[in-house]
């Protein structure tokens, strides 16, 4: 009797363990609930005059041996067209507050040169200016987002730049634009009033910047039926006082967005760690730090809610991403770093969090597009590679302008010591045609996770999926081997009525689409 009793107890215990294991990794999606749109501009990008971002990355000039169209690299241009980027921020960054736009118009041979004091002390020849940027944006089908110079510029300088770009009648700046070959105004919408004014943009106090913003924004006028979306230079990381002062001192009708900058650093600012050489503990610590953006959004958002309960003012996270040591042998001021599966996970976690907070987060810009920090594209003289981060943005395209869905996730944990994180990180949305989009990152580098998905409010018939994964957490693409990390079809799932079982590979990021 005791033996039978013991066997029964062991069987019950095994069943309980099985049940707990199942419950640990369970996702319930309410496909018929949701009224917040995930703004496509959350998937924006950033190209600063920094290192080889513009010169050699986007622009090589019409006389270059690199295949180009009107001076723009064809390979980079096509890759960005395929990625369908919604907006591109330019010319900075720190560079924006030492950039004088009149130096970048007219005959390129006559444009004055300057020293890029922020980034490497190299010569900036201004061959890539307003016309080159606006034409590039048109070629790749993206909206321009320009940051104006508050730090070393003037109100009249910024006002005239907006007039040059947007005025549709008779004015000195409109006539100058026409003489430079652009008859019609570009009608730009997104305009940043300075950048990092607490630091490289002028080392201002929040009170001083708030007053300066009011002055500059007064003369940042709307022309020809075009309405500017004005973005105030917001806080860095945990500087909640900066947000409080700006929200209190700037009339809400004078701004449409307020920025927030947050970089994920593996180590410290003095020792940021290497981009490709790291262990499992450093990998998980980096992802833990990336996930802190959720706390920042909530805390800055709470301050914004006090003054703007309707959430009309957008939180604009226009600089985010990883920041590691530069690659050996490269100019320290060029911020060139490789891009691994760790970066891909940072991108997936960050985008999932932005989606979750889409009622407040209206735009975000990865730093940066080509050859700088967490780039989606790396180039050398004549060749190009797509990074793991590129493939995450490619996977996540269905989330753009989709409806954020309510979901409940229970996930097992992974970590080291007392630092633990959920191994699965998820975002769910519904496209206009009713397709449910499920993005899933499994940050456990060693373990496949069986996820039980309950689909409510949808009569599911078909499932398709794609993913990226790699043998190691530091796997990355090189010019010698471009497809170590790439997007591929995923088939390890099973649909049974309202239940979808997915075997999520270790160290993988998926996009599952159910219809």
Same domain (yes/no): 106, 128: yes
Average pLDDT, integer, range 160-172: 97
What is the Cα–Cα distance from 281 to 414, expressed in whole angstroms? Answer: 11
**Cβ neighbours of residue 170 closer than 8 Å, sequence gap 6 or more:** none
Same domain (yes/no): 386, 455: no
303 pLDDT above the threshold of 70: yes
Could you give the number of structural domains in the chain? 2
Same domain (yes/no): 391, 412: no
Same domain (yes/no): 436, 293: no
| Residue among 124, 196, 212, 422 flagged as catalytic | 196
**How many other C-beta atoms lie within 10 A of the C-beta of residue 363?**
25
Task: Supply 371's token pair.
Answer: 């050859």
Same domain (yes/no): 236, 317: yes
* Res 18: pLDDT: 41
Residue 449, domain member (yes or no): yes
Give the end of a domain, one of 341, 369, 402.
402
Residue 17, domain member (yes or no): no
What is the Cα–Cα distance from 76 to 55, expressed in whole angstroms? Answer: 12
Average pLDDT, integer, range 416-432: 93
CATH number at residue 412: 2.60.40.1180
pLDDT tier at 21, thresholds 50, 70, 90: very low
Q: Check: CB of residue 24 under 8 Å from CB of residue 411.
A: yes
Same domain (yes/no): 452, 398: no
What is the Cα–Cα distance from 27 to 348, expressed in whole angstroms? Answer: 17
pLDDT tier at 476, thresholds 50, 70, 90: very high
pLDDT tier at 20, thresholds 50, 70, 90: very low
Same domain (yes/no): 73, 162: yes
Q: Give the global pTM.
A: 0.94
Q: Check: CB of residue 421 under 8 Å from CB of residue 443.
A: yes
Average pLDDT, integer, range 14-36: 73
Closest CA to 441 of 366, 360, 343: 343
Average pLDDT, integer, range 193-205: 98
Task: Report in angstroms the alpha-carbon separations of 511 from 85, 190, 464.
Answer: 18, 30, 9
Same domain (yes/no): 374, 425: no
What is the Cα–Cα distance from 378 to 372, expressed in whole angstroms? Answer: 8
| Residue among 124, 163, 212, 319 flagged as catalytic | 319
Average pLDDT, integer, range 459-483: 97
* Res 16: pLDDT: 41
Q: Check: CB of residue 314 under 8 Å from CB of residue 255.
A: no
Average pLDDT, integer, range 366-376: 98
pLDDT tier at 100, thresholds 50, 70, 90: very high
pLDDT tier at 362, thresholds 50, 70, 90: very high
Indicate the average pLDDT of the chain.
95
Residue 310, domain member (yes or no): yes
Residue 49, domain member (yes or no): yes
Task: Supply 88's token pair.
Answer: 């591109």
Which residue range forms the structural domain that includes residue 478? 26-32+406-514
501 pLDDT above the threshold of 70: yes
Closest CA to 116 of 46, 52, 202: 52
Average pLDDT, integer, range 46-72: 97
Phi, psi for residue 378 in degrees, rounded to 5: -120, 140
Residue 216, domain member (yes or no): yes
416, β-bridge pairs: 419
* Res 224: pLDDT: 84
Using one digit for the tens of pLDDT, what is the confidence trace for 212-263? 999 999 999 999 888 999 999 999 999 999 999 999 999 999 999 999 999 9
Same domain (yes/no): 141, 157: yes
Give the end of a domain, one of 384, 402, 420.
402
CA dihedral 75, 474, 321, 413 (to 10 degrees): 140
Task: Supply 58's token pair.
Answer: 């986007």
What is the number of residues in the chain? 515
282 is catalytic: no
Give the end of a domain, one of 402, 423, 439.
402
pLDDT tier at 418, thresholds 50, 70, 90: confident
Residue 11, domain member (yes or no): no
For tokens 């100019």, what's the residue?
A: 331
**How many other C-beta atoms lie within 10 A of the C-beta of residue 306?**
11
Same domain (yes/no): 398, 430: no
Residue 83, domain member (yes or no): yes
Average pLDDT, integer, range 372-380: 98
Average pLDDT, integer, range 303-327: 98
Closest CA to 130 of 107, 105, 163: 105
196 is catalytic: yes
Same domain (yes/no): 397, 425: no
Average pLDDT, integer, range 150-166: 98
Average pLDDT, integer, range 355-373: 98
Same domain (yes/no): 222, 253: yes
Return the SS3 of 38.
coil
């Amino acid at each position: 009797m005791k033996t039978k009793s013991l066997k029964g107890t062991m069987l019950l215990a095994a069943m309980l363990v099985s049940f707990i294991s199942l419950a640990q990794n369970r996702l319930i999606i309410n496909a018929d609930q949701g009224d917040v749109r995930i703004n496509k501009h959350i998937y924006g990008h950033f190209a600063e005059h920094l290192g080889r971002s513009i010169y050699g990355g986007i622009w090589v000039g019409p006389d270059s041996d690199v295949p180009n169209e009107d001076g723009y690299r064809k390979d980079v241009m096509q890759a960005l067209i395929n990625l369908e980027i919604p907006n591109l921020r330019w010319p900075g960054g720190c560079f924006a507050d030492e950039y004088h736009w009149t130096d970048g118009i007219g005959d390129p041979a006559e444009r004055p040169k300057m020293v890029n004091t922020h980034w490497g002390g190299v010569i900036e020849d201004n061959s890539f200016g307003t016309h080159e940027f606006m034409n590039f944006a048109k070629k790749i089908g993206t909206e321009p987002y320009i940051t104006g110079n508050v730090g070393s510029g003037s109100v009249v300088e910024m006002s005239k730049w907006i007039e040059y770009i947007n005025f549709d009648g008779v004015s000195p700046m409109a006539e100058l634009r026409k003489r430079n070959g652009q008859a019609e105004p570009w009608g730009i919408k997104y305009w940043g009033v300075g950048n990092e004014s607490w630091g490289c943009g002028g080392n201002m106090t929040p009170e001083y910047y708030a007053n300066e913003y009011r002055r500059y924004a007064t003369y940042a006028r709307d022309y020809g039926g075009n309405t500017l979306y004005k973005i105030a230079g917001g806080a860095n990381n945990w500087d909640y006082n900066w947000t409080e002062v700006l929200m209190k001192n700037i009339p809400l009708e004078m701004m449409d967005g307020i920025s927030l900058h947050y970089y994920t650093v593996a180590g410290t600012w003095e020792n940021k760690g290497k981009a490709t050489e790291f262990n499992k503990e450093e990998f998980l610590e980096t992802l833990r730090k990336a996930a802190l953006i959720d706390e920042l959004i909530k805390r800055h958002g709470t301050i914004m809610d006090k003054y703007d309960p309707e959430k009309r003012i957008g939180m604009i996270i226009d600089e985010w991403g990883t920041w590691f040591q530069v690659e050996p042998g490269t100019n320290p001021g060029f911020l060139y770093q490789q891009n691994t599966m760790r970066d891909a996970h940072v991108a997936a976690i960050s985008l999932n969090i932005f989606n979750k907070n889409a009622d407040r987060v209206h735009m975000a810009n990865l730093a940066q597009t080509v050859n700088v920090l967490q780039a989606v594209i790396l180039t050398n003289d004549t060749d190009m590679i797509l990074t793991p981060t590129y493939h995450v943005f490619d996977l996540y395209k269905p989330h753009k302008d989709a409806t954020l869905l309510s979901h409940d996730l229970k996930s097992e944990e992974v970590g080291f010591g007392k630092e633990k994180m959920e191994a699965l990180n998820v975002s769910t949305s519904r496209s206009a045609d009713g397709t449910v989009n499920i993005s899933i990152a499994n940050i456990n580098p060693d373990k496949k996770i069986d996820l039980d998905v309950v689909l409510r409010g949808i009569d599911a018939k078909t499932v398709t999926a794609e993913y990226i994964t790699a043998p190691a957490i530091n796997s990355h693409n090189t010019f010698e081997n471009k497809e170590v990390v790439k997007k591929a079809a995923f088939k390890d799932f099973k649909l049974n009525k309202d239940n979808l079982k997915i075997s999520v590979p270790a160290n993988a990021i998926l996009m599952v689409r159910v219809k």
